[in-house]
Chain A
Amino acid sequence: QQQVKQSPQSLIVQKGGISIINCAYENTAFDYFPWYQQFPGKGPALLIAIRPDVSEKKEGRFTISFNKSAKQFSLHIMDSQPGDSATYFCAARNDYKLSFGAGTTVTVRA
């Protein structure tokens, strides 16, 4: 019973294209929504995060869109590069604990 549902499981995008990963949640007590990036053999690393009182946050080529009423949020990777090939996890925080989505493996073809 994953508290954060993430889709798709994997995606392939051409260099320069846009990658979009979606997440949904039910628990309205969640108060912070980070995205983590993980490369093979490494631990996840924080990529970008948003609070529910903001509808969009952009950092470089990465943008989070947040829809509080729909209880959904998404990560957009603009101008995707081969170095963006990694697994991405959305997460949601409640009471100092993060619940993670199942992850999306992104492959960027050169």
Chain B
Amino acid sequence: DAGITQSPRHKVTETGTPVTLRCHQTENHRYMYWYRQDPGHGLRLIHYSYGVKDTDKGEVSDGYSVSRSKTEDFLLTLESATSSQTSVYFCAISESTGSNEKLFFGSGTQLSVL
């Protein structure tokens, strides 16, 4: 899967607890993304990174924070998990070739907040 690994694959947590999801790449790509996937909404961008310590918000960033201290790792933290954050979370890396672009997605993390 293009050298991208997400962990954990599944997690069940309780409302109010902090949760951190990890994305690791072996491709040395500059751009990394966190999306959430929900029925009827497709994939929505949470946060993205364009380099070490360079991050920016996506369309659904409230309640989430990210960090990127190394090129290969991009962490997503739910500061205080809520039931509305139950979702499948996907990390992606971007490979640009000239004017085209290809996102490679990880296998996803199924998060349940009870």
Task: Give A contacts to B, CB under 8 Å.
Answer: 2, 6, 9, 32, 34, 36, 41-46, 49, 51, 89, 93, 96-103
Contacts and interface: CB of A to CB of B under 8 A. Distances in A.
A9 B107 CA distance: 23
Interface residues of B, number: 26
Contact of A43 (B42, B101, B106): B106
What are the 7 A-B residue pairs with the smallest beta carbon separation, nearest first?
A: A43-B105, A100-B42, A100-B43, A102-B42, A103-B42, A46-B102, A44-B105
Contacts, number: 59
B105 A93 contact: no
Nearest to A6: B42
A72 to B, nearest CB: 17
B102 A43 contact: no
A89 B42 contact: yes
B107 A102 contact: no
B64 to A, nearest CB: 16
